């Protein structure tokens, strides 16, 4: 039996097939129709791995679109799934910082990987992947290029966290001739400060993992390390942590 | 249809009857007094022959109008209350002869000043603390002052005897409401938190208490009988949640989020919930003295210190076998927002999980609240 977890994010739909270990995973743009993206992903992975429908277990959905997926047997929040998935990747993890496309969250785990506390910033794009994406576009950087900027350089601090205001602030700094790198570092720093204060509020237990698409940005990782004084672990597969967690829950149900 | 379904259908059908009662009352030439707060002494108002109608507002509609006078960054409850008055959209406010307000939080206090342009306002000076003889003396005087104002305004004389009669009636209602809340001490609870809330709303806006109280007593005993005969409306595995914080009237989305995500609310420690009914007015003491103590000791965050809220929370968590606590804080409510720290520490010290939700009266965060609450329930 193959367990299936689908994480229906606002930007990407992530699907993981699992049978005790990860069989395969797939990322599909969510687009306008999350349910369709989920269905397509399952079909794609079934086809690719020569698996028939009769071999699959219950589908567990998570992410903001989780309730719209009719083929799912169960929906579980991204907090629980993310924690399950991240703990599976590394059972030394006790604190998770996740910065995704539309929201950011921090989760505290106990030794067995159970969620003991969490906090979400979901009110606005401030400090999320979307914020960085908009700003990167403005500066004509890719997220990876943004990540490659050495953090020792001069920093132009950005006071506004609201996407709209930060945008005009950035434009005015550039017009005044401030170096692009300095503005970029200022933006990254504002995200790092915000993330670190969220971590401080929940209290960091050592074993800090940084997950989500934005964790690919290595300069940001270093900044969070600098602000929190904690080692920050990242994982190449961490984008799939939520889907993996959902697949693990599906696996429990088999 | 089960017995409890029948009761709920009846309640739902009559939920809006309060407006008619007030209208008829007015047509008979009798006075209506608006109140905004649990601190308003019900017994004195009714002893003056008036209907006390709760105006503490719960709708989002008039907020835009209120923001023409009030800052946007203000508690939605205050904006909504003011907006209803301003736009004349609340029938209860419309029928009021006067309103009684208290010096509670800063926002409310200042908003009340503006209300004076629309209705006669009687301000009760609520001390900022329940401790000490001085504070008590102030509140005791304020009750006297209210009594005289009511007597003057409605040309009546309020006798001690009448006040005592009202105390008895209200205590009987408090006991009945308490037994309604206590239906959730059972495991699983006899009815859902939504159902309890609906019944208590119905009671709040039922102004003929002589009729209401026996009805409520019977409803509670009927529900118990149905429960004993095996009727179950709540899954025994549902996490048992206590809700605390700001008044919930305009933030009922939180109630829905909890119960639609598989939890059950077993206790409301908010205004309108068990908080008010926890303590009765002492019937063996002179009525004005007993009223003074009862109302001064309401565990509201505008009081400093607010020890009685913490004590009460600790007891309720035990009595109602609570699995987790959700605190609701309305945007820009400083007093409750600051107290979240102490509440969180208290709840966690008992080994229970705690979640705080900041919200307003809009629908914009319904999805997010449901995710956070589901995650919280999954954690339990
Ligand atoms: S919370 Fe306090 S100020 Fe608000 S209605 Fe209740 S008693 Fe009044
Ligand atoms: S919720 Fe807070 S700010 Fe709003 S009226 Fe009550 S005490 Fe005042």
Q: How far is the C-alpha of B205 from the C-alpha of B197, rounded, in Å?
A: 12
Q: How far is the C-alpha of B125 from the C-alpha of B78, rounded, in Å?
A: 18
Q: How far is the C-alpha of A243 from the C-alpha of A9, rounded, in Å?
A: 10
Helix or strand holding residue B289 (H, E): helix B287-296
Cα angle: B11, vertex B13, B16; to 5 degrees: 90
Inform me whether the pLDDT recorded for A164 exceeds 90: no
Q: Which residue has the tokens 């672990």?
A: A233
Cβ neighbours of residue B260 closer than 8 Å, sequence gap 6 or more: B370
Q: Which atom of ligand 2 is nearest to the CA of B332?
A: 3
Cα A116 to the center of its chain, rounded Å = 20
Q: How confident is the model at residue A126 (pLDDT cuts 50, 70, 90)?
A: low
Inform me whether the pLDDT recorded for B97 exceeds 90: yes
* HSE-CB of A226 using CA atoms within 13 angstroms: 14
Q: Does B380 touch chain A (CB under 8 A)?
A: no
More confident residue, A163 or B233: B233
Q: How many residues belong to chain B?
A: 380
Interface probe for A, chosen from B344, B369, B374 (most Cβ of A below 10 Å), is B374
Best mutation site among B39, B76, B108 for ligand 2 pocket (most ligand atoms within 8 Å of CB): B108
Best mutation site among B78, B82, B309 for ligand 2 pocket (most ligand atoms within 8 Å of CB): B78
pLDDT number for residue B168: 97
Q: How far is the C-alpha of A4 from the C-alpha of A1, rounded, in Å?
A: 10
- Residue among A64, A79, A114 whose CB faces B375 most closely: A79
Report chain B residues whose CB lies below 8 A from the CB of A80.
375, 378-379
Inform me whether the pLDDT recorded for B351 exceeds 80: yes
Considering chain B, what is the average pLDDT of its residues? 95
Inform me whether the pLDDT recorded for B29 exceeds 70: yes
Tens-digit pLDDT profile for residues B257-283: 999 999 999 999 998 888 888 789 999
Inform me whether the pLDDT recorded for B125 exceeds 80: yes
The mean per-residue pLDDT over the stretch B12-21 comes to: 92
Residue B40 Cβ contacting ligand 1 at under 6 Å: no
Nearest to B347, CA basis, from B299, B377, B302, B312: B312
CA distances from A119 to A176, B306, B351, B360 (A): 38, 27, 18, 18
pLDDT number for residue A49: 94
Cα A49 to the center of its chain, rounded Å = 26
Report chain A residues whose CB lies below 8 A from the CB of B379.
79-80, 114-116, 118
Best mutation site among B105, B110, B298 for ligand 2 pocket (most ligand atoms within 8 Å of CB): B105
C-alpha B174 – ligand 1 centre gap (Å): 18
Q: Does B365 touch chain A (CB under 8 A)?
A: yes
pLDDT number for residue B77: 96
pTM above 0.90, yes or no: no
Query: Could you tell me the domains of chain B?
Result: 18-159 (3.40.50.11890)
Q: How confident is the model at residue A122 (pLDDT cuts 50, 70, 90)?
A: low
Structural Rg of chain B based on CA atoms: 20
Tens-digit pLDDT profile for residues A67-80: 888 889 999 999 99
Inform me whether the pLDDT recorded for A179 exceeds 90: no
Q: Which ligand does the CA of B339 lie closest to?
A: 2
pLDDT number for residue A157: 82
Q: How confident is the model at residue A241 (pLDDT cuts 50, 70, 90)?
A: very high
pLDDT number for residue A124: 63
Q: Is B284 helix (H, G, I), strand (E, B) or coil?
A: coil
Residue B246 Cβ contacting ligand 2 at under 6 Å: yes
Q: How far is the C-alpha of B188 from the C-alpha of B191, rounded, in Å?
A: 9
Q: Which atom of ligand 1 is nearest to the CA of B36?
A: 5
Q: How confident is the model at residue B154 (pLDDT cuts 50, 70, 90)?
A: very high
- How many other CB atoms are there within 10 angstroms of residue B370's CB atom? 19
CA distance B198 to chain A (A): 27
Helices (H), chain A: 34-48, 78-89, 129-139, 143-148, 163-175, 180-202, 218-228, 241-253
Cβ–Cβ gap A120/B372 under 8 Å: yes
Q: How far is the C-alpha of A95 from the C-alpha of A232, rounded, in Å?
A: 10
Q: Which ligand does the CA of B309 lie closest to?
A: 1
Inform me whether the pLDDT recorded for A245 exceeds 80: yes
The mean per-residue pLDDT over the stretch B68-72 comes to: 95
Q: How far is the C-alpha of B235 from the C-alpha of B226, rounded, in Å?
A: 16
The mean per-residue pLDDT over the stretch B114-121 comes to: 96
Query: Could you tell me the domains of chain A?
Result: 1-90+239-254 (3.30.420.40), 92-234 (3.30.420.40)
Q: How far is the C-alpha of B182 from the C-alpha of B194, rounded, in Å?
A: 14
Cβ–Cβ gap A122/B353 under 8 Å: no
Report chain A residues whose CB lies below 8 A from the CB of B374.
76-77
Inform me whether the pLDDT recorded for A239 exceeds 90: no
CA distance B191 to chain A (A): 26
Joined tokens for residue A68: 């719209």
Q: What share of chain A is helix, strand, coil (3-state, %, to 5)?
A: 45, 20, 30
Tens-digit pLDDT profile for residues A29-65: 988 888 899 999 999 999 999 999 999 999 999 998 8
Structural Rg of chain A based on CA atoms: 19
CA distance A122 to chain B (A): 7
CA distance A22 to chain B (A): 24
Q: Does B49 touch chain A (CB under 8 A)?
A: no
Q: How confident is the model at residue B372 (pLDDT cuts 50, 70, 90)?
A: very high
Q: How confident is the model at residue A160 (pLDDT cuts 50, 70, 90)?
A: confident
Cα angle: A1, vertex A10, A93; to 5 degrees: 65
Positive or negative CA dihedral for A124, A126, A127, A130?
positive
Q: Is B122 helix (H, G, I), strand (E, B) or coil?
A: strand
Q: How confident is the model at residue A165 (pLDDT cuts 50, 70, 90)?
A: confident
Strands annotated E in B68-202: 98-102, 121-124
Q: Does B371 touch chain A (CB under 8 A)?
A: yes
- How many other CB atoms are there within 10 angstroms of residue B289's CB atom? 14
Nearest to B171, CA basis, from B76, B284, B82, B73: B284
- How many other CB atoms are there within 10 angstroms of residue B266's CB atom? 30
- Residue among B371, B372, B379 whose CB faces A115 most closely: B379
- CB pairs A-B closer than 8 Å: 37
Per the CB < 8 A criterion, the answer to whether B98 and B92 are in contact is no
- Residue among A115, A116, A122 whose CB faces B368 most closely: A122
Per the CB < 8 A criterion, the answer to whether A11 and A30 are in contact is yes
Cβ neighbours of residue B265 closer than 8 Å, sequence gap 6 or more: B184, B192, B193, B194, B196, B197, B241, B242, B243, B255, B258, B259
pLDDT number for residue A158: 81
Joined tokens for residue A238: 């961490």
Residue B104 Cβ contacting ligand 1 at under 6 Å: yes
- First-to-last CA distance in chain B? 33
Residue B191 Cβ contacting ligand 1 at under 6 Å: no
Considering chain A, what is the average pLDDT of its residues? 89
Q: How confident is the model at residue A213 (pLDDT cuts 50, 70, 90)?
A: confident
pLDDT number for residue B58: 84
Q: Which atom of ligand 1 is nearest to the CA of B271?
A: 6
Cβ–Cβ gap B378/A79 under 8 Å: yes
């Amino acid at each position: 039996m193959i367990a299936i977890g689908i994480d229906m994010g606002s930007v990407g739909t992530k699907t993981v097939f699992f049978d005790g270990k990860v069989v395969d995973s797939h990322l599909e743009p969510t687009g306008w129709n999350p349910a369709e993206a989920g269905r397509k992903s399952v079909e794609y992975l079934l086809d690719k791995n020569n698996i028939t429908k009769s071999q699959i277990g219950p589908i567990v959905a998570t992410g903001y679109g989780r309730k719209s997926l009719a083929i799912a047997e169960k929906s579980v929040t991204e907090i629980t799934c993310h924690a399950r998935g991240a703990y599976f990747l590394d059972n030394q993890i006790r604190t998770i910082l996740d910065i995704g496309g539309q929201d950011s969250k921090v989760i505290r785990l106990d030794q067995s990987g159970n969620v003991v506390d969490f906090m979400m910033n979901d009110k606005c794009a401030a400090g999320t992947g979307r914020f960085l994406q908009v700003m990167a576009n403005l500066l004509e950087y890719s997220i990876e290029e943004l990540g490659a900027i050495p953090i020792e350089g001069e920093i132009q601090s950005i006071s506004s966290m609201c996407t709209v205001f930060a945008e005009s602030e950035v434009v005015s700094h550039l017009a005044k001739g401030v170096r692009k790198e300095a503005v970029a570092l200022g933006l990254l720093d504002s995200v790092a400060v915000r993330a670190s204060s969220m971590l401080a509020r929940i209290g960091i237990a050592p074993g800090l993992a940084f997950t989500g698409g934005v964790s690919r940005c290595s300069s940001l990782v270093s900044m969070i390390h600098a602000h929190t004084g904690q080692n920050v672990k990242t994982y190449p597969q961490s984008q799939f942590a939520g889907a993996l967690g959902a697949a693990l829950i599906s696996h429990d149900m088999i | 249809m089960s017995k409890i379904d029948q009761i709920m259908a009846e309640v739902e059908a009559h939920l809006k009857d309060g407006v008619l009662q007030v209208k008829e009352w007015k047509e008979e030439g009798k006075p209506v007094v608006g109140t905004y707060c649990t601190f308003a002494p019900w017994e004195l108002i009714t002893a003056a022959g008036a209907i006390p109608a709760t105006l503490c507002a719960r709708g989002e509609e008039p907020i835009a109008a209120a923001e023409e006078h009030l800052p946007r960054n203000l508690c939605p409850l205050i904006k909504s209350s003011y907006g209803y008055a301003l736009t004349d959209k609340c029938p209860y406010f419309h029928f009021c002869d006067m309103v009684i307000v208290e010096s509670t939080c800063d926002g409310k206090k200042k908003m009340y000043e503006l209300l004076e342009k629309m209705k006669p306002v009687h301000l009760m000076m609520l001390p900022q603390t329940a401790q000490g003889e001085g504070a008590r003396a102030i509140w005791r005087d304020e009750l006297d002052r209210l009594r005289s104002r009511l007597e003057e305004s409605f040309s009546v004389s309020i006798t001690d005897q009448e006040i005592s009669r009202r105390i008895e009636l209200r205590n009987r209602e408090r006991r009945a409401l308490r037994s309604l809340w206590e239906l959730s001490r059972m495991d699983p609870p006899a009815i859902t938190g939504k159902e309890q809330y609906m019944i208590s709303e119905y009671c709040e806006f039922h102004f003929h208490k002589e009729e209401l109280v026996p009805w409520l007593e019977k409803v509670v005993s009927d529900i118990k009988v149905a429960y004993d005969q095996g009727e179950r409306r709540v899954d025994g595995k549902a996490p048992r949640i206590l809700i605390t914080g700001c008044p919930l009237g305009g933030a009922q989305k939180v109630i829905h989020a909890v119960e639609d995500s598989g939890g059950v609310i077993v206790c409301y420690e908010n205004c309108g919930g068990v908080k008010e009914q926890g303590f009765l007015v002492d019937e063996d003491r002179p009525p004005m003295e007993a009223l003074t103590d009862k109302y001064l000791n309401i565990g509201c965050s505008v009081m400093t210190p607010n020890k009685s809220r913490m004590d009460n929370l600790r007891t309720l968590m035990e009595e109602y076998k609570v699995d987790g606590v959700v605190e609701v804080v309305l945007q820009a409510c400083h007093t409750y927002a600051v107290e979240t720290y102490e509440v969180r520490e208290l709840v966690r010290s008992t080994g229970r999980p705690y979640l705080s939700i900041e919200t307003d009266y809009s629908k914009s965060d319904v999805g997010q609240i449901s995710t956070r609450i589901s995650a919280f329930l999954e954690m339990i």
